[in-house]
A and B are shown apart, each in its own frame.
Chain A
Amino acid sequence: MPLGRLSQWLLLAPALALLSALFLVPIVWFIAGSLASLGGASEIWGETQRTLGSTAIVKTILNTNVIALTVTLFALLLGYPMSFALSRLKGAAFTLVLVCIVLPYFTSIIVRTYAWMVLLGRRGIVNDMLLSLGLIDQPLALLYNRTGVIIGMTYVLLPYMVLTLYAAMKAVDMRLLQAAEGMGARPFEVFRRVFLPLTMHGVLAGCLIVFILAIGYFITPALMGGPSDMMMAMLIEREIELSQNWPAAALMTIVLLAITLALYSIYSRFNDQSGAEGF
């Protein structure tokens, strides 16, 4: 039944209350409270300059962006053919490919990360196999460095890319491709001039969503990375757990939130234009 003005708000109230009490208020309180503990505006400004000007933090912010960008590119490269296949397959083959994407997607992140640690360790399964095949003489360093972080994060975030691209590719009318082919376009041209432009908004949406998730990532880089692979989320955790430096953590949070929300607003803007609904 259509609802009255009061009852619709009453129905919404519990969810909004939960969101305010355990999400909005804590975030604002944490940032404001941590900064206020420094004293007045000049002290806060001084601390901001000290924190965001320090080489370690600038390096971390740079690192985070480089890692997130690399992961996004790999996810796109691997995700594009996979979503293409998914959008064209039917029946059992479709279900099989879908399971290969959805099962990892819903498996706990710590389980997936652990699995890659087992695979990539010095005496891990990948090194074992390569050694016994005679392809290498010495175990490769695949874990606790940048390689490990990139492999682990790409694996964890790939399903987001595939599912976003799949939605865009599924909407492409195959007759357009046939028409292009019928008019003499070579397969590569069909792809470059018809299919790619038609799926471009999916590519952008997928890249944005993977980048947004990658930039705030914590678990995988913390477990699979080395000392030089510090990311922003890890730094925030470390400032609190190790040094109890709340103001520095708050400042890093502001930077992370600003980047995330800016990218998300771009994402939701052009996602609206393409007619997609909701998230």
Chain B
Amino acid sequence: MGGFSIRKAVLGAIVVLLCAVMLAPIVIVAVVSFSGDAYLKFPPELYSLEWYERFLGNARWTMALWNSVLVAAITCICSTALAFLAAYGMIRGNMPFRRVITALLLMPLIVPHVVTAVALYFLSARFGMIGVRPWIALAHSVIALPVVLIILQSALKTVDVNLERAAMICGCNRFGVFHRVVLPLTAPAIISSLLFAFLTSFDELVISLFLAGIRAETLPVRMWNSLMLQVEPTIAAVSTLLIVVTSTALLAEWALRRRTA
């Protein structure tokens, strides 16, 4: 707002402070995870990899890591595939009740996850599906679907129908159009979708908490169970791992968009 520079300086100071507060917890947890002290201090007096060794040396933690990766991998493929088909159908089709259907598909973002989780638990307990990892992945796909649908819809909107028509005239069949025109043009968005769906599942706690049982504990569930007992530093190491996964995914997505832009 033009204004005096004092006003700008005050605003600048507030924003810098807020940014520091936003980043501080994440940075501090990452630093503390390398601590060699008996309890969590910042900055640590001693540095060591003790908590990472405890994490990787504990079968329950490594099992949780493997469960998380497996569930997230199934989720990202499943939700991206379904969302891509749905988005294509909605963009190229001309269906009635389109607004209603869109609202319906976005519902899992709005309905509290506890409600979804409890309802799924009610059903899963009856059919013996507690602790079944592909089932957890399907449940995560419901949550990831709206996120991925938004990304893919906006990407598909930019694909010119005439390109598809041209391919058809040149002798492509429908599958060929899909495979040679639509998929290559939306490849960056598809990779973004895969990454965001992976993150959604990898970080999801509430639904996993109800569906995992003891057999299929994911990393967030394992963290939750252990936090209920005490704030132990091993969790700092696991947190740092999750932060690294998140940052890597975001960085990859950003680099991808830069390259294609």
Give how many A residues have a beta carbon under 8 Å from the other chain's beta carbons: 86
Known pairs A2-B92, A78-B18, A158-B22; A12 contacts B86 (CB<8 A): yes
Closest CB-CB distance, B46 to chain A, in whole Å? Answer: 16
Among B111, B122, B146, B231, point to the contact of A121 (Cβ < 8 A): B231
When C-beta atoms are compared, the residue in chain B nearest to A124 turns out to be: B40
With A14-B85, A216-B113 known as contacts, the answer to whether A108 contacts B231 (CB < 8 A) is no
* CB atoms of A119 and B25 under 8 A apart: yes
Interface on A for B, CB 8 Å cutoff? 1-3, 5, 7-12, 14-16, 18-19, 22-23, 25-27, 29-31, 33-34, 78, 81-82, 84-85, 96-97, 100-104, 106-112, 114-119, 121, 123-125, 128, 155, 158, 177-178, 181, 187, 190-191, 195, 212, 215-219, 223, 233, 236-237, 240, 246, 249, 253, 256-257, 260-261, 264, 268, 278-279
A-B contact count (CB 8 A): 266
Q: Which residue of B lies closest to A27 (CB)?
A: B119
- Chain A residues with Cβ below 8 Å from B41 are 125, 128
Residue contact A279 to B106, C-beta cutoff 8 Å: yes
Among the 9-residue stretches B50-58, B59-67, B184-192, B235-243, the one with 4 or more Cβ atoms under 8 Å from chain A is B235-243
Bound complex: CA of A100 vs CA of B250, how far in Å?
13
Query: Out of B15, B110, B227, which one reaches A114, CB within 8 Å?
Result: B227
Question: How far apart are B80's CB and chain A's nearest CB, in angstroms?
Answer: 11
* B1: Cβ under 8 A from any A Cβ: yes
Closest CB pairs A-B (n = 3): A216-B112, A8-B93, A11-B89
Contact (Cβ within 8 A) A110 B28: no
Q: Render B110-124 as a binary contact track against A, CB cut-off 8 A, 1 for contact.
A: 111111101111110
Asked whether, in the complex, the Cβ of A22 is within 8 Å of the Cβ of B115, the reply is no
Q: Is B23 at the interface (CB under 8 A from chain A)?
A: yes
Instruction: Find out whether the CB atom of A118 lies under 8 angstroms from the CB atom of B108.
Output: no
Q: A85–B13 Cα gap in the complex (Å)? A: 11
How many whole Å from A121's CB to the nearest CB in chain B? 6
Question: A8 near B92 (CB under 8 angstroms)?
Answer: yes
Kindly identify which residue among B11, B145, B235 contacts A81, using a CB–CB cutoff of 8 Å: B11
Give the CA-CA distance A27 to B108 in the complex, in Å: 11
19 contacts between A and B (CB under 8 A): A11-B89, A12-B101, A15-B145, A16-B105, A18-B145, A19-B104, A19-B105, A19-B107, A82-B15, A100-B22, A108-B205, A108-B220, A110-B224, A111-B26, A117-B227, A123-B39, A219-B205, A233-B112, A236-B115
Contact across chains for A104 and B26 when beta carbons are under 8 A apart = yes
Partner of A115, one of B26, B95, B112: B26
B94 at the interface (CB under 8 A from A): yes
Besides the contacts A8-B92, A260-B112, A279-B150, what 5 more A-B pairs have beta carbons closer than 8 Å?
A: A15-B85, A108-B205, A124-B40, A128-B42, A181-B1
- Taking a contact as CB atoms closer than 8 A, the residue among A8, A81, A219, A256 that contacts B95 in the complex is A8
Query: How near does chain B come to A263, taking the closest CB pair, in angstroms?
Result: 9
The residue on A at minimum CB distance from B25 is: A115
Do A178 and B203 touch (CB < 8 A)?
no
A12 to B149, CA, bound (A): 11
Contact A115 B115 (CB under 8 A): no
With contact pairs A108-B246, A237-B114 given, residues A19 and B239 touching in the complex (Cβ less than 8 Å): no
Q: Which residues of B contact A216 (CB under 8 A)?
A: 111-115
> Is B76 on the interface with A (CB-CB < 8 A)?
no
A22 touches B139 (CB 8 A): yes
Name the A residues within 8 Å of B128 (CB-CB): none
**Contacts A118-B28, A123-B39, A195-B1 known; A3 to B92 CB distance under 8 Å?**
yes
| A100, B92: Cβ atoms closer than 8 Å | no
